[in-house]
A and B are shown apart, each in its own frame.
Chain A
Amino acid sequence: MNLIDVYIQEVTRRLPEKNREDIALELRSTIEDMLPDRYSEQDVQSVLQKMGNPVSLASGYRDQPMHLIGPRYFDVYVSLLKMILPIAAVVAFISVIAEYISGVNGEEAIINVILDIIGFGIWRILEVAIQTFFWLTVVFAILERVDKDKDNQPLSTALTKWTPDDLKNITYIPKKKAISKFEVFFGLLWTSIWAALYFYANQLIGIYEGGEDGLTLVAPVFNQEILLQYWPLAAALLAFELALTLYKFIKGQWTKRLAIVNAIYELTATVILSIILLTPNILTPEFADYKTGFEHLDTWLIPMVIIIFAVFAVSNGIDGFRKARSTVKS
């Protein structure tokens, strides 16, 4: 086996077809130049040692980079990933929920459906995340190879060169007044949870007993008919809360106006909760009869729930003003 032939093949097979012959010819003549007239395999080895690794020689000949995504695109790539992945995950999860809700026939216990949704939701989120990651990476790997600009400066998200003007599009947010994405996310999560609990209270909230076919609801706590009398109030609160969360998301920081709206929201929520819970016969007879001692539950449990809720509402309201004010100082 001729080491020189193998070496040349190892270089040229990594190169575009049209250059192969010329480069092969030049390499062979160079290698032969370096060898003495009568050479041994030892000589060949030492010459090839000098020529270096065929991979790096080939990569020198090619204009293409030896990395998937270089410094020019890396920052944009990472920012886009951070932006797109959560959105894709949320959309995937919502689509799973929508699929299940349209398929529910009312016979299964809602708790089992919820467990199903969570399980499938996690699976779907993983699937979508991997797909998103893959395709975004492919797009950037291609961009990296198509872009002939040899400038190594990182690009801004608009795929242009950085100028000081870019700073004008960024709002300066001190840490204390910032509203994190998590806060927004958990806000939305909380809204969807209480909305589900409210509209499906007779299927969700109650005393569960383990049976042969999973958990079954034996005694719902709330009287659904009475509860649903207040649906316009609940819907209004839902809309208010969604609008508030969206407003927080857009603003990204606490302001005095946001704190005022937030306080109004907390007050409204407390009032509506009190109105609903203080309605006579809001608790079902099944629940009251479930165990002895449950009959008089409404006389102390309901006021206690309202008081706890009110305490949290006041503290949240004040917290909003505190965060908004800390911005004014700095």
Chain B
Amino acid sequence: MGTLLNSLTTELRRGTLTLAVLSQLRTPQYGYSLVQLLENSSITIDQSTLYPLLRRLEKQGLVTSSWDTSEGRPRKYYVLSEFGLEIFTQLKEEWLKNSRELYELLKGEEDE
């Protein structure tokens, strides 16, 4: 029972991860700072999912990256591209619409 619920919850969350990551990249972030930002909003993300996800977003042209070597430790910063910002805005709209609809659906269930 518990494991089934777990896997269903993971499945539910998986789709929203991209949106969560994109939302935090309007300002440049490096890997760990992004993890902390997300964790502050109590969004847990598997690290082995996050780093490959960032690379994929870069490949798709949604984010750009640059190495910052001015500090002691070199860090790779990611930030939304113009195209990424556009997609993010639309994706956000889509999500809000979906969650409103789902909310209505679930509320209707409770009223019955």
Contact = CB atoms under 8 A, between A and B. Distances in A.
A29 B74 contact: yes
Interface of B: 30-33, 46-49, 51-53, 55, 67, 73-76
A57 B55 CA distance: 12
A52 B47 contact: yes
Contact of A60 (B33, B49, B75): B49
A56 B48 contact: yes
Contacts, number: 48
A29 B76 contact: yes
A29 B51 contact: no
Most buried by A among B48, B52, B67, B74: B48
B55 A61 contact: yes
Given A29-B73, A52-B46, 13 more contacts: A22-B76, A25-B67, A29-B74, A29-B75, A29-B76, A30-B51, A32-B73, A33-B33, A52-B48, A56-B48, A57-B47, A57-B51, A60-B49
A51 interface: yes
Main secondary structure of the interface of B (DSSP, over half): helix
Given A29-B76, A50-B47, A61 B52 contact: yes
B48 A34 contact: no
Contacts of A57: 47-48, 51-52
Contact of A27 (B33, B51, B53): B51
Contacts of B76: 22, 25-26, 29
A34 B73 CA distance: 12
Interface in A1-58: 22-23, 25-27, 29-30, 32-34, 50-53, 56-57
Most buried by B among A25, A27, A33, A53: A33
Contacts of B47: 30, 50-52, 57
Nearest to B33: A33
Contacts of B52: 57, 60-61
Contacts of B49: 60
Contacts of A23: 55
A33 to B, nearest CB: 4
B12 to A, nearest CB: 19
Contacts of B73: 29, 32-33
A23 B31 CA distance: 12
11 contacts: A23-B55, A25-B76, A27-B51, A29-B31, A29-B73, A29-B76, A30-B31, A32-B73, A33-B33, A51-B47, A60-B49
